[in-house]
């Protein structure tokens, strides 16, 4: 089984990567600004489920294929970037309805939609794909056997750190939104800002190349 030294070393490396805001963090912040803290926290959960999928894919070999193939990597990147741009446009289009949404009761399907959106962004996050594909296998002790299980356990460390970090960002951004939202016009501006953040993030992801 994976040693504690490997767990701590991988956890430290994961922390250094995660605390630097990437697609999942920026998307969570933009959702907190556009929709509110509750949706941002659901987004955190969706991102985590997406990261779980990435970890499982790497542990069972799919991640290596994505990392090795420029075409597959680019396809995943473009899908994620396009989805972010789409969500950003939607946020800008509906920014003037944010004031009503603060006091409205969310429909039961809304949580599922927000969770799904967070999952798509999380599972197509190039930052996570590159890190997990390139770094995670290096911390598995092949002589100890059960390599996929070792990588799954290490992946849980990565996901736990990511969820903690994203939750802090979600609460901070949600609090800022509530503090700034004193008028419908100001709230609409906040929603537009969140949408522009998503569009900018999507564009930056689309233009980011592989480092190989």
Is 6 inside a domain boundary? no
- How many domains does the chain fold into? 1
pLDDT at residue number 209:
56
Encode pLDDT of 91-142 as tens digits. 677 666 555 544 443 344 478 888 998 999 888 887 777 778 767 777 777 7
Non-local (6+) Cβ contacts of 150 within 8 A are 1, 2, 139, 140, 141, 144
Is 189 inside a domain boundary? yes
Is 50 inside a domain boundary? yes
pLDDT at residue number 39:
87
Phi-psi region of 6 (alpha: psi -120 to 50; beta: other; left: phi over 0): alpha
Q: Which tokens in the block code for residue 1?
A: 């089984």
pLDDT at residue number 160:
95
Is 167 inside a domain boundary? yes
Per cent of the chain over pLDDT 70 is: 71
In the block, which residue shows the tokens 């906040």?
190
Is 190 inside a domain boundary? yes
Is 12 inside a domain boundary? no
Is 211 inside a domain boundary? no
* Structural domain boundaries, residue 186: 23-206
* Residue 207 or residue 56, greater confidence: 56
Is 166 inside a domain boundary? yes
**Average of pLDDT values for 160-176?**
88
Pair 65, 72: CB distance under 8 Å = yes
pTM of the model: 0.68
């Amino acid at each position: 089984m994976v040693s504690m030294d490997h767990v701590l070393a991988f956890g430290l490396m994961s922390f250094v990567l995660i605390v630097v805001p990437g697609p999942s963090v920026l998307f969570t912040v933009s959702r907190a600004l556009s929709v509110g803290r509750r949706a941002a926290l659901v987004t955190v959960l969706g991102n985590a489920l997406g990261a779980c999928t990435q970890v499982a894919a790497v542990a069972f070999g799919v991640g290596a294929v994505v990392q090795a193939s420029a075409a597959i990597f680019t396809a995943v990147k473009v899908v994620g970037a396009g989805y972010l741009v789409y969500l950003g446009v939607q946020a800008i289009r509906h920014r003037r309805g944010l004031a009503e949404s603060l006091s409205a009761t969310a429909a039961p399907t809304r949580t599922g939609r927000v969770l799904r959106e967070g999952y798509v962004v999380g599972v197509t996050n190039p930052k996570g794909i590159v890190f997990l594909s390139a770094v995670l296998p290096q911390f598995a002790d092949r002589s100890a056997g059960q390599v996929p299980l070792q990588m799954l356990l290490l992946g849980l460390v990565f996901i736990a750190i990511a969820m903690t970090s994203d939750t802090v960002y979600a609460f901070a951004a949600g609090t800022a939104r509530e503090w700034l939202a004193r008028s419908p016009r100001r709230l609409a501006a906040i929603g537009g800002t969140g949408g522009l953040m998503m569009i900018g993030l999507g564009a930056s992801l689309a233009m980011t190349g592989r480092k190989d």
